[in-house]
């Protein structure tokens, strides 16, 4: 077999090597500048107190999510471009045409895939949720463990991994955006002095906000809102408040614990055969 001529090396081998080298360089060094750029862009949206703008935690989660997608997309684009350029350098026009037809055929046959990718793009552009958020999608809930344009992976507290196609998501309830709510019903026995019970609950809320361990997590201390229900064995007092996003489940448990201790210290009786109402934990799943 005859060796390659200088003209072939100049016209084919060298361009192919340069294209491959350029692709490898881009794939090797693209992640850091992409992350730096995203960090700079999203940090402009930071707001110390939770509100409409992104918090620092939201920025970090969004950077992680978008960085993964950007690197994956860049990798796909680079590979496709390298393949097309190499085929063009080798002057394989019919192969390029066949390659395009195959891609078109896959796109036509995989309309569900296209729908999923478009839905994933909308989720990303509208900032509906990030990796690390706790969301509920239909009957499935949990922490977003992985997000791609194709699907969203949710892990519930049982350890079950739920893989949801983005095209199937119609309503996504984000439990960790902005702020979380303390929302409890505290049962007390009939005959309880309601004013005294609500005053004790208010004292518990003030003490919680003054606690150094909770001071930066409590946005509005829990307070008694109203008498909520009148049951067969007793009545319940609605308690509400606000904490930073993602802290509501720990805060609800801590408020329950403190109220139970305060009621016991002040001889406030609970209804017999009753338990403090449990608020649903969306990360638990079904």
Q: What is the DSSP letter of 152?
A: E
Range picked from 1-5, 12-16, 49-53, 177-181 for highest mean pLDDT: 177-181
273 or 239, greater pLDDT: 239
Q: How many CB atoms lie within 10 A of CB 210?
A: 11
**What DSSP assignment string belongs to 144-165?**
EEEE-SSEEEEE-TT-PEEEEE
Q: Looking at the whole model, is its pTM more than 0.85?
A: no
- Both tokens of residue 123? 């989720």
Q: Higher confidence at residue 11 or residue 15?
A: 15
Domains by residue range for the chain, with CATH:
6-109 (1.10.287), 134-174 (2.30.30.60), 179-265 (3.30.70.100)
| CB-based contact 249:100 (threshold 8 Å) | no
pLDDT at 251 over 50: yes
* Per-residue pLDDT reduced to its tens digit, 29-83: 777 787 777 777 666 655 554 444 556 666 676 777 777 777 777 777 788 777 7
For the beta carbon of residue 149, count every other beta carbon within 10 angstroms: 19
């Amino acid at each position: 077999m005859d060796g390659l001529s200088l003209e072939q090396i100049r016209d084919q081998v060298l361009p192919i090597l340069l294209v491959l080298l350029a692709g490898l360089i881009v794939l090797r060094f693209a992640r850091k500048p992409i992350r730096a750029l995203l960090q700079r862009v999203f940090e402009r949206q930071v707001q110390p107190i939770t509100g409409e703008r992104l918090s620092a935690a939201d920025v970090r989660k969004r950077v992680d999510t978008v960085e993964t997608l950007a690197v994956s997309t860049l990798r796909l684009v680079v590979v496709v471009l390298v393949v097309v350029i190499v085929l063009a350098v080798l002057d394989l026009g019919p192969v390029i045409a066949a390659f395009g037809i195959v891609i078109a055929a896959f796109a036509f046959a995989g309309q569900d895939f296209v729908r999923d990718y478009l839905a994933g793009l909308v989720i990303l552009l509208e900032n509906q949720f990030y990796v690390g958020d706790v969301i509920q999608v239909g009957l499935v809930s949990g922490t977003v463990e992985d997000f791609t344009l194709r699907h969203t992976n949710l892990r519930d507290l049982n350890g079950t991994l739920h893989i949801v196609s983005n095209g199937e998501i119609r309503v996504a309830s984000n439990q960790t955006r902005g702020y979380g709510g303390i929302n409890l019903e505290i049962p007390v026995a009939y005959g309880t002095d309601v004013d005294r019970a609500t005053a004790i609950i208010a004292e518990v809320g003030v003490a919680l906000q003054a606690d150094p361990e909770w001071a930066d997590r409590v946005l509005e201390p829990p307070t008694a809102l109203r008498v909520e229900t009148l049951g067969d064995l007793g009545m319940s007092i609605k308690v509400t408040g606000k904490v930073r996003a993602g802290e509501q489940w720990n805060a609800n448990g801590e408020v329950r614990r403190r109220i139970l201790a305060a009621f016991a210290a002040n001889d406030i009786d609970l209804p017999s055969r009753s338990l403090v109402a449990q608020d649903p934990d969306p990360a638990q799943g079904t």
